[in-house]
Amino acid sequence: MVSAKSYGDIATTSGDTLSVRSLERNNNDSPATLSLGSEVNTSPQDSLIITEPCNVDDQIVDKLNEIIRKTTRVEIMVKRLLQKISNDPTHTPLHNTDSISNTCIQPFTKYRLLCEYEERLKSGEDARKELDNIFRLCGGNSTKENIKRGLRHIFDDKLARKCSWLGRKNNFQVSNLIIMDVLKNAVRKNFPLLTDKIFELTVSTWLRQANLRFTRKLEK
């Protein structure tokens, strides 16, 4: 709270402070001269120092004080709100790495479950952003490896062997999935020269080889 005294006195506050060093009116009752030699502190780190005296009347001084008080209150409220959010155990930043690792989905073994996840992606921007982060962070030393690692996050070979890019031969079509768009855009952030053709060929080849991978796993 700002407290102000008569001309010639010092007005100060504690914590978030307004300090007025001197406010003097000359003998001819000319407009008051406000000399602000100290700072208006809204935080321990931030300060505004006005070193040049300026001629102002009482109303302007009062208005400045009011603005300072309101600004200080707003900043305090924002700081308290941010502190409350950071201390909230239920609040998890969207791009937090721990959040990503915890939300990593298991590869789907059934097409029905894959379609249910597609519906989540259609209705939620946050879900698409999380999946984008998963695909980007799964890494790979090349474009194709990044694509394949992303596919392994989504498709179990049990499901992948029943899928193809265009859905031919009674397979499930994947080219129309939001998942594919998210994967392509995510890989492009790591490898900007990725073309649609290379992406489609890589996905098609990986799906076509899924049956062989699945058979080898059963033989082990």
Burial of 118 (0-12, 13-18, 19+ CB in 10 A): middle
Per DSSP, which regions of the chain are E strands?
Answer: 22-24, 33-35, 39-41, 47-49, 54-55, 163-164, 172-173
Contact indicator for 187, 199 with CB cutoff of 8 Å? yes
Q: Is the confidence at residue 1, as pLDDT, over 90?
A: no
Mean model confidence pLDDT for the chain: 75
Q: Is the confidence at residue 34, as pLDDT, over 80?
A: no
Residue 91 corresponds to which tokens in the numbers above? 């609040």
How do the domains of the chain map onto residue ranges? Answer: 22-86, 97-219
DSSP 43: S
Residue 137 corresponds to which tokens in the numbers above? 């962070």
pTM over 0.85: no
| Cα Rg of the chain (Å, integer) | 32
Mean pLDDT of 20-49: 44
Amino acid in the structure at residue 84: K
Residue of 212, 206, 211, 98 lying closest to 152 (CA atoms): 206
Q: Is the confidence at residue 202, as pLDDT, over 60?
A: yes
Hey, which residues does 24 pair with through a beta bridge? 33
pLDDT digits (tens, 9 = 90+) for 123-174: 888 999 999 999 999 888 999 999 999 999 999 999 999 999 999 999 999 9
- The alpha carbon of residue 106 and the mean position of all alpha carbons in its chain are separated, in whole angstroms, by 25
d(CA 128, CA 125): 5
Hey, which residues does 163 pair with through a beta bridge? 172
